[in-house]
Structure 1
Amino acid sequence: MNAVLIAVFIMILLSLFRLNVVLALFIGALAGGVVAGMGYGEVITVFTEGIVGGAEIALSYALLGGFAALIAYSGITEVLVGFIIKALKKEQSRKARIIAKVSIIIALLAVSIMSQNLIPVHIAFIPILIPPLLSLMNELGFDRRLIAVVLTFGLTFPYVLFPIGFGQIFQNTIVTGFESAGMEIAFGEVAPALIIPASGFVVGLFLALFYYRKNRRYETRDIASEGVAEVSVKTVSIAVAAIIATFGVQILTDSMIFGALAGIMVFFLSFQFKWSRLDNELVNGIKMMAYIGIVMLAANGFAAVISETGHVSPLVDGIANILSDQKILVVISMLFVGLVVTMGIGSSFATIPIIASIFIPMGMELGLSIPAIIAIIGTAGALGDAGSPASDSTLGPTAGLAADGQHNHIWDTCVPTFIFLNIPVLIAGFFAGMIL
């Protein structure tokens, strides 16, 4: 019995049955740890120590939630959304609504892709940008499951294909994996080998656009608890300055915490709003994102237990021994292992170092080419990032789309992204491993 398989299976199964994700993560970690021979006390200790690794991202999300509430309170999004809705009502045509929906999808794709490469702010933009746009999405009849797929696509596709920003980190991790296995490859060899696996993301996105094309109804609920401040040129300018300060400071300091703090301080030091009102909005915004932060803390504890079990290598070795002469089955099994490990750990970047040292010798023994091994490792690492309840690539979209309480993390984010992104990438990665 492999502890990794059991832990991930229990965690996912309980989540699908709508048990709270935090509880599912803890129960899965406990079951996996016990199967691996760890005592209950040791599992709890490792889980607790692992939580520390997620403290920064959890605090970042809480502060970004507060900042998002201040943005909504400033009225800047009311102006933008009101203008678009008026234009739509004036046109009163199906064509105008379609143009608006397409424009929003393209804009969200562009922003999410740039957040990985050109302006590497990762998921920081989501709690700021998405909650204020929910009323507009409701007006246009967007299915939020589609938006979840669009955002997750933008958070995962770029780092697999483009060797800049987070893509440089991801692809350099593959190079380092080869070095650890006693082989040297050029950094420039990685991206071309990942073109086929990355194409799976594109295919999945188009399938999702087709499947979720019908309108879905949501209630329009206010996110700002104190209503909206009196809108003026000054208040809008302050909101714009706060957004610029947030992203600017984050890029300079490489810290979402200080980026969010910078944006929050712009509001308070502008003296255009009552501090008591700002404080109420800030607290309510922090509450709005607190749950996502707790899930991330639990996810880090779960990942720590998974790593501590030491059952990843035996899982791969066992598959290699059984299927050593079956190339097709070995490639499928390697991708399956990557999927399971990444679904559990929640990070493709953390998965590659675990699997590379095992997959590279195995691939060479099977006679696979270097590009094929790169494709398999890259695909195995990326698999599960979309669709994992513990991944920031799914937690990020949920944080924005669930701001008004009408979006479920598992069934509205994880299941759609798993089906429309993971499955096509799995198929594309298999073909890449076989033909390269």
Structure 2
Amino acid sequence: MNAVIIAVLLMLILSLLRVNVVLALVAGAIAGGLAGGMSINATITSFTEGLGSGATIALSYALLGGFAVAISKTGIPQILVNAMLKIVKKDGQEDRTALGKVLIILILLLVAIFSQNLIPIHIAFIPLLVPPILHILNLLKVDRRLIASVLTFGLTASYILLPYGFGFIFHQILAIQMDAAGLPINMADIPKAMALPVAGLVVGLLIAVFISYRKPREYEDRKMEIAEEVVTIKTRNIVFTVLALIGALAVQIPTQSMIAGAITGIFILYITGALKWKEADRLINEGMRMMAFVGFVMIAANGFASVLQETGHIATLVENTSNLLGDNKGLAALLMLLIGLIVTMGIGSSFATIPIIAAIFVPLSLEFGFSTMAIIALIGTAGALGDAGSPASDSTLGPTAGLDADGQHNHIWDSCVPTFLHYNIPLIIFGWATAMILF
């Protein structure tokens, strides 16, 4: 059996059994390496060497966490929370329940989208914004699986479709890797090719909101260990915070570095006096603690990916699939999407999946006669598949970090499984339809 399939299946099974995700990734990597003919020493060496490539990601998240904490001290999250409190009366009267639920969902959706394209702090806003409103969600009896689905949609659909912020990085990786595989493309064509697959995500979101999780769900109103700190909201600080966000985005896009963007934003906050220099060390430490678990998972995921690549079974999986297809273009498109799903579910990063699959999918797609636009859709969708639903993805780790602040939201069953069902299935259907329409 293919080593990639064995590694990913074991990792997923262990995660579903509630084994720590980092341990599941390590076990999956070892099983995959051994199944791929590698010795235990070679497997461990490959895994260890792969960890280094995840260090940049971990540092990025740590600094983004520090940036997010710094922003929180200027009062912007408090303004959002206060707005939500005004929407919902403290006694939870029925006349405001429906309106409060709708507006809170819209606010969280917009903030999630902005975190990818406009305000480049990625998932760092979730542990700051979500825990303080869990009491509100409890009053409204909102199913937290719905909130996880809403947040994951905002974290994924926006970068897949829009070429700004993290979306710019995703689109650029897609264009560079397709060019390296022998098919130069125009980056302006990517949003056009990905519009219909993203429409599939919209369908999944609507199903989650209006069908799957529309019924009330009871939660205990537990006390949480959240530091209650009174923040004085000043207009000048809000203005400087907006300038910091603009500066972070302006630096991040040309440098393609989340680290540079986060440092720029933090520096602007300090140099303008919105935050005091003496608070720098404490804020960075808070941010690092907040994002530590996500960072460790992403580091382990890179070691996992290194082992899978070392086995050579990713190429074997694609080649064997190609040999079974004959000239069936529809089946070829479907299997390429499924391969992307398997790889991304294991790695947890659509950004890291594109370089792995593009070198193989481009010549394979050209051999079947797919158009350039269809190939963009196939590779873009195949790379994005699995980002929602993977235990190692920041698109599921982020929502869990906020929603489980009181210990009532399970990462696998309340974040990964719901987002997998509502987003990966429609993404496969709409991605396949796009490839066939643009063929």
TM-score band by shorter chain is 0.7 to 0.9
In structure 1, runs of 5+ residues without a counterpart are: none
| Residues 249, 262 of structure 1: 8 Å contact kept | no
| Residues 75, 229 of structure 1: 8 Å contact kept | no
Match of 1:338 in 2: 340
Q: What CA deviation, in whole Å up to 9, does each residue of 1:389-409 have, x standing for no partner?
A: 111222222222223322221
Deviation at 1:168, TM superposition (A): 2.8
Q: What CA deviation, in whole Å up to 9, does each residue of 1:199-242 have, x standing for no partner?
A: 110000000102111222233344445x52456557x987x589
Query: In structure 2, how many angstroms separate the alpha carbons of the residues matched to 1:185 and 1:62?
Result: 34
Match of 1:386 in 2: 388
Match of 1:12 in 2: 12
Q: Secondary structure at the match of 1:196?
A: helix
Q: What CA deviation, in whole Å up to 9, does each residue of 1:27-67 have, x standing for no partner?
A: 00000011112221122122222222333443554566678
Query: In structure 1, how many angstroms separate the alpha carbons of the residues matched to 2:404 and 2:169?
Result: 30
Structure 2 counterpart of 1:269, one-letter code: K
Q: 2:379 aligns with which of 353, 377, 396?
A: 377
| Residues 84, 104 of structure 2: 8 Å contact kept | no
Structure 1 counterpart of 2:428, one-letter code: L
| Structure-2 change in CA distance of 1:137 and 1:28 (3 Å) | same
1:258 aligns with 2:263: yes
Let me know the Cα RMSD of the aligned residues: 3.3
| Structure-2 change in CA distance of 1:365 and 1:284 (3 Å) | closer
Query: In structure 2, how many angstroms separate the alpha carbons of the residues matched to 1:72 and 1:195?
Result: 34
Q: 1:269 aligns with which of 264, 269, 276?
A: 276
Q: Secondary structure at the match of 2:276?
A: helix
Q: Secondary structure at the match of 1:387?
A: coil
Query: In structure 1, how many angstroms separate the alpha carbons of the residues matched to 2:180 and 2:83?
Result: 56
| Residues 74, 228 of structure 1: 8 Å contact kept | no
1:111 aligns with 2:111: yes
| Structure-2 change in CA distance of 1:282 and 1:342 (3 Å) | closer
Query: In structure 2, how many angstroms separate the alpha carbons of the residues matched to 1:202 and 1:189?
Result: 21
Structure 2 counterpart of 1:182, one-letter code: G
Query: In structure 2, how many angstroms separate the alpha carbons of the residues matched to 1:112 and 1:152?
Result: 8
Query: In structure 2, how many angstroms separate the alpha carbons of the residues matched to 1:218 and 1:387?
Result: 23
| Residues 75, 228 of structure 1: 8 Å contact kept | no
Query: In structure 2, how many angstroms separate the alpha carbons of the residues matched to 1:41 and 1:16?
Result: 28
Q: 1:353 aligns with which of 348, 352, 355?
A: 355
Give the alignment of 1:72-221 within 5 angstroms.
81=81, 84-85=84-85, 88-89=88-89, 93-210=93-210, 211-221=212-222
Deviation at 1:371, TM superposition (A): 2.1
Query: In structure 2, how many angstroms separate the alpha carbons of the residues matched to 1:116 and 1:230?
Result: 28
Query: In structure 2, how many angstroms separate the alpha carbons of the residues matched to 1:112 and 1:98?
Result: 21
Q: Secondary structure at the match of 1:187?
A: coil
Aligned identity (percent) is 52
Match of 2:369 in 1: 367
Q: Secondary structure at the match of 1:142?
A: coil
Q: Secondary structure at the match of 1:384?
A: coil
Match of 2:255 in 1: none
Match of 1:295 in 2: 297
Q: What CA deviation, in whole Å up to 9, does each residue of 1:253-291 have, x standing for no partner?
A: 6427637966997798388xxx8xx96x98777555433
| Residues 5, 340 of structure 1: 8 Å contact kept | yes
| Residues 241, 269 of structure 2: 8 Å contact kept | no
Query: In structure 1, how many angstroms separate the alpha carbons of the residues matched to 2:190 and 2:275?
Result: 47
Say which is worse superposed, 165-174 or 282-291, in terms of deviation.
282-291
Structure 2 counterpart of 1:114, one-letter code: F
TM-score by length of 1: 0.85
Query: In structure 2, how many angstroms separate the alpha carbons of the residues matched to 1:428 and 1:366?
Result: 20
Match of 1:321 in 2: 323
| Structure-2 change in CA distance of 1:419 and 1:263 (3 Å) | farther
Query: In structure 1, how many angstroms separate the alpha carbons of the residues matched to 2:369 and 2:286?
Result: 57
| Residues 92, 139 of structure 2: 8 Å contact kept | no
Deviation at 1:386, TM superposition (A): 0.9
TM-score by length of 2: 0.85
| Residues 145, 213 of structure 2: 8 Å contact kept | yes
| Residues 193, 375 of structure 1: 8 Å contact kept | yes
| Residues 11, 24 of structure 2: 8 Å contact kept | yes
| Structure-2 change in CA distance of 1:165 and 1:290 (3 Å) | closer
Deviation at 1:362, TM superposition (A): 1.8
Say which is worse superposed, 339-348 or 216-225, in terms of deviation.
216-225
Query: In structure 2, how many angstroms separate the alpha carbons of the residues matched to 1:189 and 1:267?
Result: 41
| Residues 65, 287 of structure 2: 8 Å contact kept | yes
Deviation at 1:292, TM superposition (A): 3.0
Structure 1 counterpart of 2:168, one-letter code: Q
| Structure-2 change in CA distance of 1:93 and 1:333 (3 Å) | same
| Residues 70, 275 of structure 2: 8 Å contact kept | no
Match of 1:309 in 2: 311
| Residues 142, 215 of structure 1: 8 Å contact kept | yes
| Residues 116, 166 of structure 1: 8 Å contact kept | yes
Structure 2 counterpart of 1:119, one-letter code: I
Query: Alignment length, in residue pairs?
Result: 427
Query: In structure 1, how many angstroms separate the alpha carbons of the residues matched to 2:419 and 2:373?
Result: 27
| Residues 51, 301 of structure 1: 8 Å contact kept | yes
| Structure-2 change in CA distance of 1:179 and 1:314 (3 Å) | same
| Structure-2 change in CA distance of 1:248 and 1:138 (3 Å) | farther
Q: What CA deviation, in whole Å up to 9, does each residue of 1:111-165 have, x standing for no partner?
A: 2112222333322322332222222222222211111111111111122222333
Give the alignment of 1:215-230 within 5 angstroms.
215-224=216-225, 228-229=228-229
